[in-house]
């Protein structure tokens, strides 16, 4: 039995109507590399059955403390049924990229059942007309509640199901599973004992706050922290509907790395933020909605230690990075984004992102849930703009991986939308060789972004705008075929 941390509980209580808080993605596999050249659904079930004991995420569910007197607990599900969580579906003909994105968006928009372990997997066949993929590929759409893991822990979770060779590795047999189901009395007792610790925790946070103020003061003097005004309101701010759209653009890693060299000290993340900035600038200019002030991206920061990362869950702060969408020149925009990223990192380090996260541990579960729902019902969550969009980085596998012997050939990431933020970007790096790639995926509210294909084209144009600045000696970006899935560079 493990109690949710304050931030994990935030993802549970923030799951308002039409705003599920799970993450996920679609990975695509070429089954010609599997033994016999084919992967059967029963093979997938058998492999997962042999590995469910490797992670508690598979078989644990959430149980609330009676009367909401504490945060919910993760407990074993004595009725766990693997075949409930793993489903087999197929795209209708012709089975193209657009159909795959529509299906992924529809599945991603549905919340997970709270009385079951918080994950689902869909095996998708019929991807016969997706340009650039080998014939007879299949997709695997996985969605897991954000309270159970974030992008970084998700990569490790996926590695439990994948192998570095087409031959699945032998896994040590699972010990006998004896699910532990706590009683209401035991949860109430633990909640009562935890309540006595809160004054000590509050005093510890107060002690942290004093040096934090000193760090901020020194930061304003040494780093010249700029005053952070509110970001402008765009079409991506407001009420979030229950409908989603998803799409992705794929770039050559070598080209992205070459673009980074255009600005000394710039990082791959700086380049990807600049591509997002250019795409947003182009899209909003076309709709005649480009604000005069720069848009701001919220970028998650993992503040866990290696030991805490292995435990799963979340401990993520946010830093706000100006996207410089008010700058027309792409090279100047890259330089400005790089400078703003450095400022944001220095500001986040001075603020100490763990402090804000630890504050949520002091709030009782029923109070936290009531506060979030009240804020949503009164429109308070839509009254001010914190970020215009989210841009997060998810590391891909450094080596080629296989699922039941099928080779991983492509991936599309899916993120959750947040109150008043209807556009979420995921940067997924799969640098498996010198021919590695960077995929920029996005999830959006369908009412805010009714034409995701056009926005994907704007992101691609933003990349090409930067690639055009490369010197003649740089590796020439591969030309995009113009067919889906979009592969630029």
3-class DSSP string for 442-480: EEEECCCCCCHHHHHHHHHHHHHHHHCCCCCCCCCCCCC
d(CA 68, CA 84): 28
Question: Does residue 101 sit in the same domain as residue 217?
Answer: no
What are the φ and ψ backbone dihedral angles of 367, each rounded to 5 degrees? Answer: -70, -40
3-class DSSP string for 470-481: CCCCCCCCCCCC
Q: Rounded mean pLDDT of 34-56?
A: 94
Which residue, 120, 146, 170, sits at the end of a domain?
A: 170
pLDDT at 488: 44
pLDDT top residue among 100 and 150? 100
Question: Does residue 108 sit in the same domain as residue 219?
Answer: no
Digit-coded pLDDT (tens) for 70-105? 778 889 999 999 999 999 999 999 999 999 999 999
pLDDT at 225: 45
The pair of structure tokens assigned to 182 is: 């706590």
Domain residue limits at 297: 203-395+415-488
Question: Does residue 216 sit in the same domain as residue 350?
Answer: yes
d(CA 118, CA 424): 21
d(CA 466, CA 337): 13
Of 356, 325, 336, which Cα lies nearest the Cα of 263? 336
The pair of structure tokens assigned to 416 is: 């959750």
Q: Rounded mean pLDDT of 132-158?
A: 84
pLDDT > 70? residue 370 = no
Q: What band does 489 get if pLDDT is binned at 50, 70 and 90? A: very low
Question: Does residue 250 sit in the same domain as residue 293?
Answer: yes
CATH number of the domain within which 140 lies = 3.30.559.10
* Residue 18 backbone class (left: φ over 0; alpha: ψ -120 to 50; beta: rest): left
pLDDT at 319: 84
Question: Does residue 160 sit in the same domain as residue 215?
Answer: no
pLDDT > 80? residue 431 = no
pLDDT at 211: 53
Q: Rounded mean pLDDT of 108-136?
A: 93
pLDDT at 435: 57
d(CA 460, CA 252): 12
What's the whole-model pTM score? 0.85
What are the φ and ψ backbone dihedral angles of 455, each rounded to 5 degrees? Answer: -65, -40
Q: Kindly list the distances between the CA atom of residue 390 and the CA atoms of 277, 323, 413, in Å, as whole numbers in the listed order.
A: 12, 11, 13
pLDDT at 293: 94
Asked if residue 288 belongs to a domain, the reply is yes
CATH number of the domain within which 317 lies = 3.30.559.30
What are the φ and ψ backbone dihedral angles of 26, each rounded to 5 degrees? Answer: -115, 120
Question: Does residue 130 sit in the same domain as residue 65?
Answer: yes
d(CA 317, CA 299): 8
Q: What band does 448 get if pLDDT is binned at 50, 70 and 90? A: very high
Asked if residue 370 belongs to a domain, the reply is yes
b vs e for 81-108, b when ≥16 Cβ sit within 10 Å of the residue's Cβ? eeeebbeeeebeeebbbebbbbbbbebb
Which residue, 148, 170, 192, sits at the end of a domain?
A: 170
Which residue, 170, 190, 215, sits at the end of a domain?
A: 170
d(CA 450, CA 445): 8
pLDDT top residue among 64 and 213? 64
Burial of 473 (0-12, 13-18, 19+ CB in 10 A): exposed
Q: Rounded mean pLDDT of 156-184?
A: 86
pLDDT at 223: 47
Digit-coded pLDDT (tens) for 251-270? 999 999 999 999 999 999 99
Q: Rounded mean pLDDT of 12-19?
A: 76
Digit-coded pLDDT (tens) for 299-356? 987 654 444 444 444 455 678 899 999 999 999 999 999 999 988 887 776 665 555 5
Asked if residue 191 belongs to a domain, the reply is no
pLDDT at 147: 85
Q: Are 232 and 386 in contact (CB under 8 A)?
A: no
Q: What band does 235 get if pLDDT is binned at 50, 70 and 90? A: very high
d(CA 261, CA 343): 20
Average pLDDT, the chain: 82
In the chain, the number of structural domains is: 2
Asked if residue 181 belongs to a domain, the reply is no
Q: Rounded mean pLDDT of 120-131?
A: 94
d(CA 294, CA 343): 15
Q: Are 17 and 242 in contact (CB under 8 A)?
A: yes
Asked if residue 192 belongs to a domain, the reply is no
pLDDT at 484: 45
pLDDT at 65: 77
pLDDT > 80? residue 66 = no
Question: Does residue 146 sit in the same domain as residue 223?
Answer: no
Digit-coded pLDDT (tens) for 211-224? 555 544 454 444 44
Q: Kindly list the distances between the CA atom of residue 336 and the CA atoms of 168, 273, 301, in Å, as whole numbers in the listed order.
A: 47, 11, 20
Q: Kindly list the distances between the CA atom of residue 425 and the CA atoms of 76, 148, 364, 396, 434, in Å, as whole numbers in the listed order.
A: 33, 20, 32, 15, 25
Question: Does residue 353 sit in the same domain as residue 465?
Answer: yes
Asked if residue 400 belongs to a domain, the reply is no
Instruction: State the first-to-last Cα distance of the chain, in angstroms, to the nearest integer.
Output: 48
pLDDT at 345: 81
Question: Does residue 73 sit in the same domain as residue 166?
Answer: yes
Question: Does residue 335 sit in the same domain as residue 475?
Answer: yes
In DSSP terms, which residues pair with 15 in a beta bridge? Answer: none
pLDDT > 70? residue 292 = yes
Digit-coded pLDDT (tens) for 391-404? 999 888 888 999 99
Question: Does residue 160 sit in the same domain as residue 277?
Answer: no
Asked if residue 404 belongs to a domain, the reply is no
Specify the 3-state DSSP secondary structure of 338: helix
Asked if residue 113 belongs to a domain, the reply is yes
Question: Does residue 355 sit in the same domain as residue 472?
Answer: yes
Q: Rounded mean pLDDT of 201-210?
A: 53
Q: Kindly list the distances between the CA atom of residue 357 and the CA atoms of 56, 103, 119, 454, in Å, as whole numbers in the listed order.
A: 23, 35, 24, 37
pLDDT at 13: 72
């Amino acid at each position: 039995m493990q109690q949710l941390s304050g931030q994990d509980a935030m993802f549970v209580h923030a799951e308002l109507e039409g705003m599920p808080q799970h993450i996920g993605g679609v990975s695509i596999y070429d089954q010609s590399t599997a033994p016999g050249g084919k992967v059967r659904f029963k093979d997938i079930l058998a492999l997962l059955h042999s590995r469910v004991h490797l992670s508690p995420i598979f078989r644990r569910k959430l149980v609330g403390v009676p009367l909401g007197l504490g945060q919910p607990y993760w407990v074993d599900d004595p009725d766990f049924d693997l075949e409930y969580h793993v489903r087999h579906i197929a795209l209708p003909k012709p089975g193209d990229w657009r159909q795959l994105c529509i299906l992924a968006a529809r599945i991603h928009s549905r919340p997970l059942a709270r009385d079951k372990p918080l994950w689902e997997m869909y095996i998708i066949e019929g991807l016969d007309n997706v340009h650039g993929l080998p014939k007879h590929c299949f997709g695997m759409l996985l969605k897991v509640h954000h309270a159970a893991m974030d992008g970084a822990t998700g990569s490790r979770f996926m590695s439990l199901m994948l192998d570095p060779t087409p031959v699945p590795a032998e896994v040590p047999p699972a010990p006998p599973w004896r699910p532990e189901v706590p009683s209401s009395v035991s949860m109430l007792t633990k909640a009562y004992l935890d309540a006595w610790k809160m004054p000590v925790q509050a005093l510890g946070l107060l002690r942290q706050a004093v040096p934090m103020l000193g760090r901020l003061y020194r930061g304003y003097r040494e780093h010249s922290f700029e005053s952070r005004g509110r970001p402008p309101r765009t079409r991506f701010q407001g009420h979030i509907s229950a409908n989603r759209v998803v799409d992705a653009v794929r770039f050559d890693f070598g080209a992205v790395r070459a673009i980074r060299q255009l600005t000394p000290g710039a990082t791959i993340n700086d380049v990807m933020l600049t591509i997002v900035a250019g795409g947003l600038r182009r899209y909003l200019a076309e709709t005649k909605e480009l604000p005069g002030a720069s848009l701001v991206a919220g970028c998650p920061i993992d503040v866990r230690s290696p030991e805490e990362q292995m435990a799963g869950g979340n401990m993520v702060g946010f830093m706000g990075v100006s996207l410089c969408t008010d700058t027309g020149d792409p090279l100047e925009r890259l330089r400005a984004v790089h400078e703003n990223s450095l400022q944001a990192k220095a500001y986040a380090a001075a603020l100490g992102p763990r402090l804000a996260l630890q504050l949520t541990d002091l709030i009782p579960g029923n109070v936290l849930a009531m506060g979030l729902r009240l804020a949503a019902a009164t429109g308070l969550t839509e009254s001010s703009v914190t970020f215009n969009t989210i841009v997060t980085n998810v590391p891909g596998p450094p080596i080629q991986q296989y699922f039941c012997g099928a080779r991983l050939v492509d991936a599309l990431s899916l993120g959750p939308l947040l109150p008043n933020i209807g556009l979420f970007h995921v940067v997924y790096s799969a640098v498996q060789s010198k021919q590695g790639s960077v995929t920029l995926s996005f999830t959006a509210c369908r009412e805010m972004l009714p034409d995701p294909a056009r926005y994907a084209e704007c992101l691609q144009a933003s990349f090409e705008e930067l690639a055009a600045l490369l010197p003649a000696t740089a590796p020439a970006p591969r030309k995009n075929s113009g067919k889906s899935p979009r592969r630029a560079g």
